[in-house]
Amino acid sequence: QVQFVESGGGLVQPGGSLRLSCEVSGIVFRIYSMGWYRQAPGKQRELVAGITHIGNTNYANSVKGRFTISRDNAKNTLYLQMNSLNVEDTAVYYCNPTGGSPGWGQGTQVTVFS
């Protein structure tokens, strides 16, 4: 059974930083391209950062230069370092393979308030 356990979210002021983690089980993590997604209230879920199984990365324009995605295949864990946060980054953040999977985790809430 595939599981995604996201953590690291919280409350932060504009300009602040957070580091999200996602522990993955039930799949051979190291062979999957993975992504961080977010869903803000009233909006569709969107992909904000992706990383291939060999470490190539890509980012949505809205987070480019501020967010960094990384992975530790030995720990089956995906990370998202978020810097220079702004109120538009407020959302629930999820991790998932970029090619899709049968389920989603509960996500971790990120709230940027001024």
Q: Give per-residue pLDDT as tens, 45-98.
A: 999 999 999 999 999 999 999 999 999 999 999 999 999 999 999 999 999 999
Q: What is the pLDDT of residue 4?
A: 97
Helices then strands, counting H and E runs in the chain, come out as: 0, 10
Q: What is the pLDDT of residue 101?
A: 82
Report the alpha-carbon angle 67-53-51, nearest 5. Answer: 15
Q: What is the pLDDT of residue 112?
A: 98
Q: Is the pLDDT of residue 114 over 90?
A: no
Q: Is the pLDDT of residue 36 over 90?
A: yes
Tens-place pLDDT, residues 10-23 = 999 999 999 999 99
